[in-house]
Amino acid sequence: MRLTATLGEAYNHAPYPMNGHGKRNVHVLKEAFEAVDGDVDSDMYGNGAIMEQFHNTFAQLLGKPAAVFFPSGTMAQQIALRIWSDAAGSKKVAYHPLCHLEIHEQDGLKHLHHLEPILLADTTRPVLLSDVLNMPEGVACLLLELPQREIGGQLPDYRELEAISAHCREKGIKLHLDGARLFEITPYYGRSAEEICSLFDSVYVSVYKGLGGIAGAVLAGEYDFIEESKVWKRRHGGDLISLYPYFLSADYYTERRLPRMAEYYEGAIALAELYNSCQPAIRTVPQVPVSNMFHVHIGMSKEQLEPILIEVTQQTGIGFTHILRPTGDASCFYEVSIGDRFAELPREKARDAFRQLSDRLMTSHNRNP
Amino acid sequence: MRLTATLGEAYNHAPYPMNGHGKRNVHVLKEAFEAVDGDVDSDMYGNGAIMEQFHNTFAQLLGKPAAVFFPSGTMAQQIALRIWSDAAGSKKVAYHPLCHLEIHEQDGLKHLHHLEPILLADTTRPVLLSDVLNMPEGVACLLLELPQREIGGQLPDYRELEAISAHCREKGIKLHLDGARLFEITPYYGRSAEEICSLFDSVYVSVYKGLGGIAGAVLAGEYDFIEESKVWKRRHGGDLISLYPYFLSADYYTERRLPRMAEYYEGAIALAELYNSCQPAIRTVPQVPVSNMFHVHIGMSKEQLEPILIEVTQQTGIGFTHILRPTGDASCFYEVSIGDRFAELPREKARDAFRQLSDRLMTSHNRNP
């Protein structure tokens, strides 16, 4: 046992890491291109047969007239909000306080587009109709993230969504979907991506979350909206001469993983049950997952928990997480996201690992109550 | 002979196209990754061993303390100008009227960064010291493009450059190099990239022009400048989770093509001589190339010239260009850029093709003087 290992190292060396599809390495690219003919022409600045085909595939999947590939969701979503803001002649947009644009993009929306976000709901729950009804006047666009990643991937009830959509249509407020993990929620809602998207005016999906591509995003909507987004894509520096390394691999992995979304969702439910068997030391948010993800909250400091997780990982071969995030002096959490790996997990070994973890947490708790 | 072929089709089907390194197809990616171990870990949002190594290679090549990979030059250069503008507290930047930022980026610099470009020189020649001396007060940054692509890749005299650099340093004006084709001018100047860059505060180079990568750019400068550029890269949506498909292939092709820059330059001189043997119908700009590129100007309308070029291409197998750009009712031009392909060109066939082209232009000219 290497006592000097960090949690990240222990996780990466574990024979059975529980999260995601697999290691993010060059093999992901090589596998995707193995069957692609080398003579296939590159896309050229957003044009070309292979790109058109990809755009059509996603327009159809999302039930929108048009779709366009972007190098990143950061770029796609800022641009979507900018277009709706310009159309409405208002700089006001609304979203959740833990929206990606608010906390992960170095305030690009404000520095580049000078938009003025209004924060809805609080940091523990998703946006509800009541939040939307209480918005100030003049909001050009409301962004909803489904599932809301930073709170464990929570979702509003589908009827709540329909009511928000109906209200926005009535009021002329554009509704944009941050669907980074859109396909991952289709099993819980029991609706196709297309049905969910029909509630929204514009939609962004990521190609490297549940779909497991290398990087990139798709923006979809009406034809004119997508054409305008391409102009902004050029302005942002996202209209690369060749984007095929990303969208051809996205295409490859979408074909393989789209049919497995229900399996990932069920995996999340099963794994959350295992975590919740360690209550009260551990609890998951949501308690019963509504997508392929959830958060694990532990009533112990990052510094206390880290050596325990490293030891259990090294002794059992089961990788829980590569990183812990503190939520206070005496608690921390991490994100779990189910992908291909979960199907390979030896269940008896996993149960044993959870037993050991539970014992260690109990002992530690009794020592430092 | 397919009479219905477009010029682009005739060029693409020609056994000996004269421009560039080769077809832009998936093979470019596959070749670059053939020797890369699949187990190599991806970069993660700008970090990771392979990215650090790439950054170090380019920092060293360009003789700057730090370098960072960008998905595009559009993004890198807007950001460079924004940083210098913020530092100086002035929105004024200066560049050539045919600068990439002015004509190819849908005015991203103005829409996203609200900078106010001052256009120097005219559209027939590069920026000179006299232009710089006549700039209004308060310019935060002067951008020089070497070579100036849109005018055939012209260059100022190296002493002129040194004088501009000295003047800018004295006046506290930051000097930024648009070095999309920087390595391509080192043979003519007889200076290393590092020496040329020492005249500039910040430098952008493209990895897919002479170097022949898939897409992307490098920005180099002082450590603090590069750190700030990474914040803006995130804001622009350019801080992708994985950029390795681009920078690992850039690395591969840089190693192969950097040593061949003198050969490309000499090829351009030889080819321009062939074109100029068709005078007065054809002339090149510059007459004697100063990099691997030049423009071919022909005193005939695009519509008149196209069928002639298609026919000569199909009869001789030599591809001249895939596209013509009109410069007026009775003239047009195209860009020539020398890469790997030129070494494979059968010289006797090429001379024969130019004889045929010259004859056809002469006949046509006599018919429509």
The answer on A295 and A165 residing in a single domain is no
Q: At A337, is the secondary structure helix, strand, or coil?
A: strand
Closest by Cβ to B26, choosing from A25, A36, A235? A36
Cα separation, B364 vs B366, whole angstroms: 5
Q: Which of A3-12, A141-150, B211-220 has the lowest mean pLDDT?
A: A3-12
Judge whether B52 lies within some domain: yes
Cα separation, A11 vs A8, whole angstroms: 5
Cα separation, B295 vs A229, whole angstroms: 33
Cα separation, B6 vs B12, whole angstroms: 10
pLDDT for B49 equals 97
Residue A39 to residue B26, Cβ atoms within 8 A:
yes
Residue A78 to residue B237, Cβ atoms within 8 A:
yes
Question: What is the full DSSP assignment across A206-224?
Answer: ESSSTT--SS-EEEEE-HH
Judge whether A29 lies within some domain: no
Which amino acid is it at A112? L
Chain B residues with CB under 8 Å of A73 CB are 237
Helix (H) or strand (E) holding A356: helix A347-367
What is the average per-residue pLDDT within B250-276? 98
User: Pick from B206, B241, B276: which residue ends a domain?
Assistant: B241
Q: List the single residue in A with minimal CA-CA distance to B34.
A: A30
Point out which residues pair with A242 in neighbouring strands.
Answer: none
Return the closest-CA partner of residue B15 out of B240, B261, B314: B314
Cα separation, A16 vs A342, whole angstroms: 9
Identify whether the C-beta of residue A297 lies closer than 8 Å to the C-beta of residue A282: yes
What is the average per-residue pLDDT within B73-82? 98
pLDDT band (50, 70, 90) for residue A367: confident
Per cent of chain B over pLDDT 90 is 95
The answer on B77 and B216 residing in a single domain is yes
The answer on B308 and B265 residing in a single domain is yes
Residue A26 to residue B40, Cβ atoms within 8 A:
yes
pLDDT band (50, 70, 90) for residue A328: confident
Judge whether A55 lies within some domain: yes
pLDDT for B368 equals 66
- What secondary structure letter does DSSP report for A238? -
Q: At A318, is the secondary structure helix, strand, or coil?
A: strand
Is the pLDDT score of A366 beyond 90? no
Question: What is the full DSSP assignment across A67-117?
Answer: EEEES-HHHHHHHHHHHHHHHHT--EEEE-TT-HHHHSSTTHHHHHH--EE
pLDDT band (50, 70, 90) for residue A362: confident
Chain A residues with CB under 8 Å of B215 CB are 240-243
Closest by Cβ to B42, choosing from A24, A72, A234? A24
Cα separation, A172 vs B332, whole angstroms: 49
Helix (H) or strand (E) holding A227: helix A223-236
User: Pick from A212, A241, A270: which residue ends a domain?
Assistant: A241
pLDDT for A208 equals 98
User: Pick from B241, B273, B292: which residue ends a domain?
Assistant: B241
- What secondary structure letter does DSSP report for A148? B
CA angle A264–A269–A275, rounded 5-degree value:
120
The answer on A271 and A204 residing in a single domain is no
Residue B44 to residue A24, Cβ atoms within 8 A:
yes
pLDDT band (50, 70, 90) for residue A329: confident
> Is this complex scored with an ipTM above 0.95?
yes
pLDDT for A368 equals 66
The answer on A229 and A91 residing in a single domain is yes
The answer on B198 and B52 residing in a single domain is yes
Chain B residues with CB under 8 Å of A253 CB are none
pLDDT band (50, 70, 90) for residue B3: low
Q: List the single residue in B with minimal CA-CA distance to A112.
A: B112
Cα separation, A204 vs A70, whole angstroms: 10
pLDDT band (50, 70, 90) for residue B232: very high
pLDDT for A321 equals 98
Identify whether the C-beta of residue A121 lies closer than 8 Å to the C-beta of residue A127: yes
Q: At A349, is the secondary structure helix, strand, or coil?
A: helix
Chain B residues with CB under 8 Å of A72 CB are 237-240
Chain A residues with CB under 8 Å of B107 CB are 235
Judge whether B200 lies within some domain: yes
Cα separation, A198 vs B129, whole angstroms: 59
CA distances from B206 to A306, B215, B219 (A): 44, 8, 9
Backbone angles phi, psi at B117, to 5 degrees: -75, 140
Chain A residues with CB under 8 Å of B26 CB are 33, 36-40, 42, 244, 248
Cα separation, B51 vs B34, whole angstroms: 19
The answer on A339 and A225 residing in a single domain is no
What is the average per-residue pLDDT within A166-173? 98
**What does the H/E/C string look like for chain B?**
CCCCCCHHHHHHHCCEECCECCCCEHHHHHHHHHCCCCCCECCECCECHHHHHHHHHHHHHHCCCEEEEECCHHHHHHHHHHHHHHHHCCCEEEECCCCHHHHCCCCHHHHHHCCEEEECCCCCCCCCHHHHHCCCCCCCEEEEECCEHHHCCECCCHHHHHHHHHHHHHHCCEEEEEECCCHHHHHHHCCCHHHHHCCCCEEEEECCCCCCCCCCEEEEECHHHHHHHHHHHHHHCCCCCCCHHHHHHHHHHHHHHHHHHHHHHHHHHHHHHHHHCCCCCEEEECCCCCCCEEEEEECCCHHHHHHHHHHHHHHHCEECCCCCEEEECCEEEEEEEECHHHHHCCHHHHHHHHHHHHHHHHHHHHHCC
Chain A residues with CB under 8 Å of B33 CB are 26, 29-30, 33
Per cent of chain B over pLDDT 70 is 99
Return the closest-CA partner of residue A364 out of A311, A291, A293: A311
Identify whether the C-beta of residue A354 lies closer than 8 Å to the C-beta of residue A281: no
What is the average per-residue pLDDT within B154-159? 98
Whole domain around residue A148: which residue ranges? 43-241
For residue range A62-96, list pLDDT tens digits in order: 999 999 999 999 999 999 999 999 999 999 999 99
Is the pLDDT score of B369 beyond 80? no
For residue range A258-278, list pLDDT tens digits in order: 999 999 999 999 999 999 999
Interface test with A, best of B11, B13, B23, B26 (most A CBs within 10 A): B26
Which amino acid is it at B31? E
pLDDT band (50, 70, 90) for residue A4: confident
What is the average per-residue pLDDT within A198-221? 98
And the tokens for A138?
A: 């003049």
Residue A70 to residue B29, Cβ atoms within 8 A:
no
Residues 6+ apart with CB under 8 A from B99: B117, B143, B145, B178
Q: At A158, is the secondary structure helix, strand, or coil?
A: helix
CA distance A142 to chain B (A): 20
Cα separation, A83 vs A300, whole angstroms: 45
Is the pLDDT score of A1 beyond 50? no
Helix axes A73-88, A223-236, angle to 10 degrees: 120
Strand order, beta sheet including B174-179: B66-70, B217-221, B202-206, B174-179, B141-145, B92-95, B116-119
Is the pLDDT score of B170 beyond 80? yes
- What secondary structure letter does DSSP report for A16? E
Judge whether B2 lies within some domain: no
Residue A105 to residue B231, Cβ atoms within 8 A:
no
Judge whether A283 lies within some domain: yes
Is the pLDDT score of B365 beyond 90? no
Residues 6+ apart with CB under 8 A from A130: none
Q: List the single residue in A with minimal CA-CA distance to B23.
A: A41
For residue range B324-350, list pLDDT tens digits in order: 999 988 999 999 999 999 999 999 999
Judge whether A253 lies within some domain: no
Return the closest-CA partner of residue B81 out of B120, B30, B115: B115
Judge whether B236 lies within some domain: yes
pLDDT for B1 equals 47
Q: What is the CATH number of the domain that holds B357?
A: 3.90.1150.10
Handedness of CA A166, A123, A185, A56 (dihedral sign): positive
CA angle A26–A31–A32, rounded 5-degree value:
100
pLDDT band (50, 70, 90) for residue A279: confident
What is the average per-residue pLDDT within A240-251? 98
CA distance B215 to chain A (A): 6
Cα separation, A324 vs A331, whole angstroms: 10
Q: Which of A67-76, A88-97, A182-191, A360-369 has the lowest mean pLDDT?
A: A360-369
The answer on A200 and A138 residing in a single domain is yes
Return the closest-CA partner of residue A213 out of A183, A265, A182, A248: A248
Count of domains for chain B: 2
The answer on A64 and A118 residing in a single domain is yes
Q: A-B interface: how many C-beta pairs under 8 angstroms?
A: 163
Residue B237 to residue A74, Cβ atoms within 8 A:
yes
Residue A248 to residue B215, Cβ atoms within 8 A:
no
The answer on A266 and A232 residing in a single domain is no
Task: Please tell me the total number of residues recorded for chain B in this structure.
Answer: 369
Cα separation, B148 vs B154, whole angstroms: 5
Question: Is the bond preceding residue A147 a cis peptide, omega within 30 degrees?
Answer: yes
Residue B244 to residue A39, Cβ atoms within 8 A:
no
- What secondary structure letter does DSSP report for A172? T
Residue B24 to residue A40, Cβ atoms within 8 A:
no
The answer on A350 and A271 residing in a single domain is yes
Q: What is the CATH number of the domain that holds A53?
A: 3.40.640.10
Cα separation, A169 vs A199, whole angstroms: 9
Per the prediction, chain B carries an average pLDDT of: 96
The answer on A221 and A94 residing in a single domain is yes
